[in-house]
Chain A
């Protein structure tokens, strides 16, 4: 910054200098030409007839220079550029000259003629009485002068300015750098620290030097980093605690849920059996019994839901904690899928297709892949529509399994979040179904194998999940977990 300012300053000075010089050069050149006109006309005038004849005008004009014009009433005498260029004298200039009153003055104007700068000087020639009073003579003279040489001079001057600047600037930069090294280096160090902090290096600190505001600022930044670091540490601890808490809570829930599960089943069962063998009970008792029975049924259903939820949360907690154990074995995916479908009684709704003689064996945790497939097929049956198609394709180092349904597909807004925990596409319908963790668990299980699980819609509109599994099984990251 310092350097920039120095450079700006030097450059501005050079520029202003050049500007001023060029203006002065132009003005003086103009002045010089105007003076020359006055001198030449004044010198010539006493020898020129008045009122001027044609010859007299020629004489005046000749006295003025190569590019000259002398006018008297309707007569005029022109030479040089005044012959070539009609519009050289602007109406402004002509008016100024024509309307000049005593004592009279000259008028100049710079014009561009075909990219060449010219100055045009016009003057009325005055009559002077012996006592010095002046009056217009009606004769006007004009003189034009090419300013290109002036331009060239200016260019030279500018070049000189640039040259000087170029010589001086490095020195200025050097000085500025030296200044910045001493003044700005602490700021730069502080900035680097702030950048490192922003990038997550919470150990970044700047040693404060001196006692000025900068040192105070440095101390403040250090303090900020300190408290940031502490909150990050405690945040990590809280996160750890939260994970452990989820696992612990779920685990602790198992015992009361065990009792509850057994108890509500007894309750429900008892009502199921009692309602039939006592047809003779009175209406109020019957209503009471019906209400109790319905309540027992609800308790049973909800308890089972609760159990499933706890199971899924436990599973997720294990993924998060990295304690999900993998049990890899050579697994034929077609056989696995067939078993998965058959054991759940879904054979009617699901078709399996695989390329003839394809090798579909991968290193995998059978139980986990079973969970993945069951979740995908279950999801397809719930939210999509049968038939559900499971298809396989084999590559040398991986196997791909797609599960597609014939339903309405997944909404574009839902797709990006389909694997999000507890994300339910249709809140109204999911109450009686899964925990909202099924697809998240499927995704985690696939990732554990070093594979990927993606969701999309088929051209026909159905939802399609694609599980890609490397044959080698889990990646190093997967094995860590």
Chain B
């Protein structure tokens, strides 16, 4: 019997000493690589009524908020048009929810055309995707004069018709 007990002790000792500790390994695959680098930000304007991307060489991707603010400053001297009225205040608030990105615009509904709405949605989504976000995300816009409800077609979550 003592012999068996010795065997037991030996096994337990082996289990303890044995290969439970962290061992070196070969190269293993991990999660998807990071992203988010970009030479600039992509904004959407209107070219003869069509939605087109315009890349601004900002040397970095920047945030969605920055992208929308930049969009609100207009197409500049590029010859493209915009469906968003010029405003003095460009500050917007972007909140990323579970499957919806809430963008609170410093504009009343009257200052943004339906094309303008697409411009904003596409710009937000493009930046989101470029920063590694999911393309399945929807964007909900909030205007200064309309509370965010699902009943208003303007404030429904939307997707970018181009992406």
Contact = CB atoms under 8 A, between A and B. Distances in A.
Interface residues of A, number: 77
Contacts of A45: 34-37, 61, 131-132
Contacts of A48: 36-37, 60
B20 A19 contact: yes
28 contacts: A8-B7, A12-B11, A18-B15, A22-B21, A38-B30, A42-B35, A45-B35, A45-B132, A47-B61, A48-B60, A96-B27, A103-B32, A104-B33, A104-B35, A105-B29, A105-B32, A108-B28, A108-B30, A110-B22, A110-B23, A117-B22, A121-B30, A125-B36, A128-B38, A130-B126, A134-B35, A137-B35, A150-B22
Interface centre among B12, B20, B24, B129 (most CB of A within 10 A): B20
A111 B25 CA distance: 7
B49 interface: no
A165 B26 contact: no
B53 interface: yes
B37 A127 contact: yes
A38 B30 CA distance: 10
B27 A107 contact: yes
B28 A107 contact: yes
Give the size range of B's interface with the partner: 35 or more
A420 interface: no
A19 B19 contact: yes
Nearest to B36: A45
A48 B39 CA distance: 9
A200 interface: no
A96 B11 CA distance: 40
Interface of A: 3-4, 7-8, 11-12, 14-15, 18-19, 22, 26, 30-31, 34-35, 37-52, 90, 92-93, 96, 100, 103-112, 117, 121, 123-132, 134, 137, 139, 141, 147, 150-151, 154-155, 157-159, 161-162, 165-166, 169, 173
Contacts of B60: 46-50
Contacts of B15: 11, 14-15, 18, 158, 161-162, 165
A239 B109 CA distance: 128
B39 A37 contact: no
